[in-house]
Amino acid sequence: MCGIAGLASTTGADPEAVRALCARLTHRGPDGEGFHTDGQIALGMRRLAVIDPAGGAQPVHNEDRTVTAVCNGELYGYQSLRARLRARGHHFATGSDSECLVHLYEEYGEELVHHLHGMYAFALWDSRTRRLLLARDRVGKKPLHYRRTPDGTLAFASELKALRALPGAARTLDPAALDHYLAHGHVPAPLTLTEDVRKLPPGSLLTWQAGQIHVRRYWTPDFTPRPAPGPGEAAARARALLTEATRSRLVADRPVGAFLSGGLDSSAVVAAMARLSDRPVRTFAVGFEDPAHDERAHARAVARHFGTDHHELVLTGADAAHLADLAHRFDEPFADSSALPALHLARLAAGQVTVALTGDGGDELFGGYRRYALMARYGALPVPAALRPLTGALGTGLVARSTTGTRRRAAGRLLETLAVPRDRRYAHLMACFTPAQRRWLRTGADDPATDPDAPLLHTLAASRATDPVNRLLEADTLHYLPGDLLVKLDTTTMAASLEARSPFLDHHLLEWAAGLPAPLKVRGTATKHLLKEAVRPWLPAHIVDRPKKGFSVPLAHWLRTALRDLTRDLLTDHTARSRGLFRPEAVRTLLAEHAAGQDHAARIWALVQFELWARHALDQPTAPAAPLAPAPPQRV
């Protein structure tokens, strides 16, 4: 795991500029650095040593040093790759997984990506063809940003913050990207909030040659229905694939642990780890003083069942008050409030281990969110146009008088969703600010004509899945997973110099699950049916069958108490108003209604994160935040 950066220019790349880029990625790789320059290109990396700590330095080269690569991530099963490549006459200079890249390129060219199993973002330079290749893993676990100048120069880095340090980097806000942020709570690839920088989308390749750039997608999940296995066969296959995915992610020359919430996904991963390990698994959990949001009791139950070496911490409103530090860790504003406990959880784990396995992806593979069942049952329900305003108003009223996670709020969101055209209902259900709310909030300045829902609508319309549940799973795999969950996971763990690995996101498991019939995943209101049956032999029934809670935060309460004055001052002061982006009266209304008991927590948090980001990224660009100091161990 590391951070990578580089430059490509027909007039010659400046190696000192690449060193400056890498200096801003030190938190991603505190164990060392490496550089390579060859006229038109300069490559650099910062290393977090996990495989072959002593000898696995980068950049890596082929035998005659005509092919050079830097890689962020891990290639699983690299030992078998090395054996295959040795059998074809290749020689290795290190014991690292990354060295496989240059030899695979010699064999397969750009098609090497189809032979990779893991999480990665890499840059590979072929000095014979003078061509640079950038690639990102299938689902987008590892990030990669790039900037192209009018003269054809390409700059790239693991983090956008590094590219903002380059001379001439724009500080201009992309209005279309802002609208996407308000709609989704994050900025989806390929957009960024900075006009001159783009994200390489997941599962994509970028080639640069003689100043010309070409981007193409090399992988998308296939949700075409396949013949259904029997329930017992499907459960056994899911269990076997999860076991193998976990086994490959336990390979490391540094200590390995796991995040444990006590939910089904993280508990299943810990169960697989315990079955594969000859020593107690180290597990880490975060909780809250508010019992409505605290799942530590469930995590402790799983820890006791498997005899793990368990550690935990408790977050309070005082911890949440460090908002500027949280925003500074992210390249862009990020409205998912679970980033706060995720950051503290990563800090806790980094004090004990270098690698942490997570349960991310289980919901998207096996249908774990309640919204899948709701949309399958009600998503196509016809509502006459004349009744839609009343339906929406009833829903809005219920939402305003309820708190996150309650049945009343779910019913209100459903009614709001039924008030919009059927093809837009899922986008509406997932929205941070709905289109009407965005129109009410925005001043109209630089109001973009783009539709932030268009990519999601296209995915749903083009899906090969024949069932509404699988269409939603495909949409979330391509949009919500890489845009929200994996950004949160990479950013928070890398801030603590911790490598996160997610067995559920093994592409063999993902591709198999994609083709399964939806009734194996969601049955009526019951979610994640197949996964529950698969792990039932591993876990106590009270863990398997308890309702899903999710990684929720007592945000609504904090915004009325510990964070109330801070957020009010931040969103209504002269600096915020002078941007001219949001109507001051709309912002004041959100704050006042929330303080009076309505729940606008998600929208207020989105505005807070945007304003904090703007102050350090647009107004007064600052140096990157220092790596998080590990939290002191708190063994339970």
Residues catalogued as catalytic: 2
Interatomic CA distance for residues 315 and 631, integer angstroms: 12
Residues 573, 574, 579, 584, Cα dihedral to 10°: 60
Backbone angles phi, psi at 461, to 5 degrees: -70, -35
Q: Label the pairing between strands 256-259 and 355-357.
A: parallel
97 among the known binding-site residues? yes
| Helix intervals (H) in 90-174 | 100-108, 160-163
- By three-state DSSP, how is residue 278 classified? coil
CB 491 within 8 A of CB 23: no
| Cross-strand partners of 256 | 355
Q: How far is CA 96 from CA 58, 79, 120, 506, in A?
A: 9, 9, 14, 20
Residue whose structure tokens are 């509406």: 428
CB 493 within 8 A of CB 499: yes
CB 604 within 8 A of CB 560: no
H or E, element range at 378: helix 370-378
Interatomic CA distance for residues 21 and 38, integer angstroms: 17
Q: How far is CA 199 from CA 72, 159, 210, 418, in A?
A: 15, 10, 21, 34
Count the helices and strands in the chain (H runs, E runs).
29, 17
- By three-state DSSP, how is residue 86 classified? helix
**Number of other residues whose CB lies within 10 A of the CB of residue 457:** 15
Q: Tell me the torsion sign for CA atoms 420, 421, 427, 430.
A: positive
Query: Which amino acid is located at 628 in the chain?
Result: L
| Helix intervals (H) in 442-551 | 454-462, 468-478, 480, 486-495, 507-514, 529-535, 541-544
CB 411 within 8 A of CB 557: no
187 among the known binding-site residues? no
CA atoms in the 13 A half-sphere facing the CB of 158:
32
Known binding positions for L-glutamine:
97
Known binding positions for ATP:
286
Known binding positions:
97, 286
